[in-house]
Amino acid sequence: MRAIVLEQFGSVANFRERDVPIGRPGRGQVLIDVAAGSVNPIDIKTRVGRGAAKWFPVIPPVILGWDIAGKIVNCGPDTDTFSLGEDVFGAIGFPGLAQANADYVIADVAHIAKKPASISFEESAAAAMAGLTAWQAFNQNDGLHAGQKVLVHGASGGVGHLAVQMAKACGCHVTGTSSGRNRQFVQSLGADGHIDYQKTPIPNYPGDFDFILDPIGGDVTLASLGLLKQGGHLVTLNPPGDDQAERKARELGVVFQFILMKSSSSDMEQVAKLLGSRVISAHISASIPLSHLADAHLLMESGRTVGKISLIR
């Protein structure tokens, strides 16, 4: 099969298209003929030796990628919940490597869900890791409740634009941040309020939020803790470099948490329900062939896209 292999950490020039063997699924695994995938920030960070390479062994040459949607073409033992020919999707193998930037991929059945029939392979793949991340962030502890005030940083991004839709579906009052040029897009997602982060410093944001989703981390996390009401909750998707945020959260009487998305069939099924009922939809700003994976990485690094970048076969 065709695969895009990262020969060594660094620039997109290190990607090479290779012909590699198609694997055989083991116990609890299926082989999927991949129709679509997508690119996430973790792909970019891992390519240069950060991201996943900081959390578990990633030794080039390696195949990157985690998002997939496609058709099951082979089943190992103990995979009775799925069948040959079934359309599935998921953010697979995380934490760990999924090797999804290929024509076929082996996935644990514990990491995939049945694709809603009304949703394309492309959109379901685009909603996999981003949707799963937003779902898991919101469903820590007691989850969201109607009437709560929610702030979503990076609301025009992959996780952010799905998070806005999920929070609105819970009956929350949602404020999203983005650049001014993406204001209309964020509002189209259902956001009640918009903040142009390029013009308004975080200390000048309205406060009294019940929940803040922070895909950015660092100084954004520290500044945002002061926007929470007593007992409010901030979840960041970027690991803190020290305990500064935890200490500040304790001082303010709020909750700070870093989460690392974990592949999960049950959580993926919840995202599938939201997609199938059109409660959420993944916005695809560009569809790029897998053979041009380097272009997809460069486009994501440019910061000029909204929503997701799709990889098509």
Instruction: Give mean pLDDT, residues 154-169.
Output: 98
Each residue's pLDDT tens digit, 251-267:
999 999 999 999 999 99
What are 84-101's pLDDT values in tens digits? 999 999 999 999 999 999
Question: Euclidean distance between the first and final Cα of the chain, in Å?
Answer: 12
Percentage of the chain surpassing pLDDT 90?
95
Q: Is 263 left (phi over 0), alpha (psi -120 to 50) or beta?
A: beta
> What pTM was computed for the model?
0.96
- Rounded to whole angstroms, the Cα distance separating 249 from 284 reads 36
**Residue 49 confidence (pLDDT):** 96
Q: What is the pLDDT of residue 151?
A: 98
Residue 181, C-beta contacts closer than 8 angstroms, at least 6 positions apart: none
For residue range 100-148, what is the model confidence (pLDDT) as tens digits?
999 999 999 999 999 999 999 999 999 999 999 999 999 987 889 999 9
Give per-residue pLDDT as tens, 247-304: 999 999 999 999 999 999 999 999 999 999 999 999 999 999 999 999 999 999 998 8
- Residue 217 half-sphere exposure toward CB, CA atoms < 13 A: 12
Instruction: Collect contacts of 183-189 with beta carbons under 8 A, ≥24 apart.
Output: 185/156, 185/161, 185/283, 185/306, 186/155, 186/156, 186/161, 189/155, 189/161, 189/164, 189/165
Task: Provide the pLDDT for residue 94.
Answer: 97
- Region 39-52: mean pLDDT is 96
Tell me the pLDDT of the chain averaged across its residues: 96
pLDDT for res 167: 98
Average pLDDT rounded to a whole number, residues 54-69: 95
- Count of alpha carbons within 13 angstroms of residue 85, beta-carbon side: 0
pLDDT number for residue 309: 98
Q: Which of 18, 177, 37 is nearest to 107 (CA)?
A: 37
pLDDT of residue 304: 80
Half-sphere exposure (Cβ direction) of 282: Cα atoms closer than 13 Å? 30
Per-residue pLDDT, 305? 85
Q: What is the pLDDT of residue 140?
A: 81
Structure tokens at 202: 């975080």
Q: What's the pLDDT at 61?
A: 98
Give the model's pLDDT for residue 234: 97
CA distance 212 to 233: 6
Domains observed in the chain: 2-129+281-312 (3.90.180.10), 141-258 (3.40.50.720)
**pLDDT at site 240:** 86
